[in-house]
A and B are shown apart, each in its own frame.
Chain A
């Protein structure tokens, strides 16, 4: 056995943290420890999506299907780590009823170089939006309305081949 075989590969040492959260969360409480887990990294990029206000939106509800949703998110994170050679990836996604201004999603990528971190976040968000097992409805004027897929989501995801 050569000494080279004792060196861990980048992918094997990458930290992947994927969670579904059913209550309001503070992204900073997750991003801080995630960043500190990668001393010597080149860069961390983080995106936080919040429930948009306006248009009479009173609340948003995200439902999911446990046997598919979390495994799908874990596969997506692993795919991004391999594709962009990441040191780590954090994916947090809310379920349940949310109010305008509450975080829905938080994605953070740690990489040796900034471009990989930017691209990994873009990739993960496009796939979370249009290729993950979530169903969304909005409450407006006291009534719930299901949100249909948008053509833009398919355009976004097709960028990744």
Chain B
């Protein structure tokens, strides 16, 4: 199980701010995108694919999100662009 957190407008697209995802072996970027499509929508998957969307695992922002490895017990946050003034 991992905890997924959707921030900003992504929470609206997902319809919720948080979700739990059960799995038995570590997940990579394509796995996560596929899960977003299946459990939520293609719209959410597209919003996450947007290169401006950053990812953080356990509070650490990933420099290269496509190399992510998600392990059981992790918290994965999806961070759309911050709003500015």
A interface with B by C-beta (< 8 Å): 63, 65, 67-68, 71, 129-137, 146-150, 152-153
Chain B, interface residues (CB within 8 Å), range: 10 to 19
CB distance from A119 to the nearest CB of B (A): 19
> Taking A65-B5, A135-B7 as contacts, is the C-beta distance between A130 and B85 under 8 angstroms?
yes
Write the residues of chain B forming the contact surface with A, with a CB cutoff of 8 angstroms: 5, 7-9, 11-12, 56, 58-59, 61, 75, 77, 79-85
Contacts of B58 in A (CB 8 A): 67
Given known contacts A68-B61, A150-B84, A152-B85, is B9 in contact with A135 (CB within 8 Å)? yes
Q: Is the interface of A mostly helix, strand, loop or mixed?
A: mixed
A133 to B7, CA, bound (A): 10
Contact A147 B77 (CB under 8 A): no
Given contacts A65-B77, A68-B61, contact A130 B82 (CB under 8 A): yes
> In the complex, what residues of A have CB within 8 A of residue B59's CB?
67-68, 71
Docked-complex contact B83 and A149, CB < 8 angstroms: yes
CB-nearest residue of chain A to B56: A68
Contact of A149 among B5, B79, B82 (CB under 8 A): B82
Q: How far is the CA of A150 from the CA of B83 in the complex (A)?
A: 8
Separation in Å of the A47 CB from the closest CB of chain B? 13
**Cross-chain contact A65 with B82 (CB below 8 angstroms):** no
Q: A68-B77, A130-B85 are in contact. List 6 more A-B contacts (CB 8 A).
A: A63-B11, A129-B84, A134-B82, A135-B9, A149-B84, A153-B84
